[in-house]
Every structure is written in structure tokens, then in C-alpha cells.
Amino acid sequence: MFFANTYSHQKCQFCLDVSHEKLASISSLADDPHARYFANQELGLKLWVVISGIELTLRNRASALLISEFGEELFSTGAWRLGSAAESRIQKVSARSKATSLSANDLITQLPLSFWTLLFSKRMESTTWPVLMRSLINGAAPTSRGVLYSRLLETLELRNRIAHHEVVLKARFQGALERQLELLSWISIDFKREAEARINFSLQPVESQHEQ
């Protein structure tokens, strides 16, 4: 078998159920594939808490600021100002709704993270970015739109990988938890402090028993 030189216990049912391919793709110093899997799960769980906080606080704060600046029509007839990519996401949410008229608040709660990420794209440099830079992010955040956009693209990728049970414990995501916690602090330092008071974000080694 292809993995014969990777693990000595090719008939382990746990490994077969998870898949040897997935276990082999996890970047971990642990020799035990069970430990590798649960180390990945631990990282995913902690990232999910942080990413959920980013998505929730970004959505709520950004929408309130944009409505105050441009009015609720920005999320309906004025969506063209956000560019075609963002406008299409608004149209998709509206099209899915069974209600004849979807309120701005109901629409906003259904917009995906990709929509809020687009607000930091280069296309928005003269539209939403000045408002968000002035009132959304705090003084500890970088003033570069590109840095925030890149960080949010990582947030989006990690969110999608976790939701689809893909591996996040990989070399290219090294330091991702720290970066995402920092991003959360730029948007809502209070949420970050509350989360850190309740959750231990340090990654602990996971012990498990591999079938002998």
C-alpha cells in the first residue's frame, strides 16, 4: 500500500475511518496518528471560536457603521456601490428569502463572511475602507488595508476548511491561531478578552492509544 512506510498499523479501524491520506497531511511531531488527528481537531476548535467572534463582531459593527454612513439602501438598491461581487452576494440572499420583502437586518445576518471580507478589498478603497478604518478597527490595528484584507482572507480559508473537515494543522497555517486572535483584537478587544478569560488558547499535546 502507498502508506505502508508511513504507519505501521495499516489495519487500524480508526485510521481507516478517518483516512490515512488525511492523517498523513497533518503537520505534527506526534508519531501516533490518533494524536495527530486530535491535535488538528483541538486547533480547529479553538480557531472556530476565534473565527466565529471575528465574523460576528465584524458583521455587526461594520453593518451599523455603513448604514450610518450610507443608509440601509446600501444593502438593497444601493448595493451597486459595493461592486459586482458584493452586490451578487446580496442578491443571492434576497433571492433565497421566502419573504416578499427582506428587512436590512434580516439580510445582513444572512450575508456570508466572504461579503464582509470584500469590504476590505482594493475595490473598496475609496468607498467602505475609509469608514471602516476610521471607526471599525482600533488604534492597535495596522492602517494598511492590504494587511487587513490578507488577514481576513486567511480567516475565510480557515473557516471553510474547518467547516468541511479539512486539515488546518499544516505548515502554511503555522501561527494562524495567534494571527486570528490578533485580528479579533483589532475589531473587538472586549470579545478577545472575554474569550481568553474563558478558553485556554494554548495548544496542549493530545494523548491517544493507537491500536497495537
What is the C-alpha separation between 24 and 2, in angstroms, rounded?
A: 11
Q: What percent of the chain has pLDDT over 70?
A: 90
- Per the prediction, the chain carries an average pLDDT of 89
What is the C-alpha separation between 150 and 153, in angstroms, rounded?
A: 5
Closest CA to 73 of 43, 50, 47, 103: 103
At 11 the pLDDT is 80
> How is residue 123 annotated by DSSP?
G
* pLDDT tens for each residue of 122-150: 999 999 999 999 999 999 999 999 999 99
Confidence of residue 9 (pLDDT cuts 50, 70, 90): low
* pLDDT tens for each residue of 26-77: 987 777 888 889 999 999 999 999 999 999 999 999 999 999 999 999 999 9
**CA dist list (Å): 76 to 79, 89, 103, 124, 127:** 5, 11, 9, 17, 16
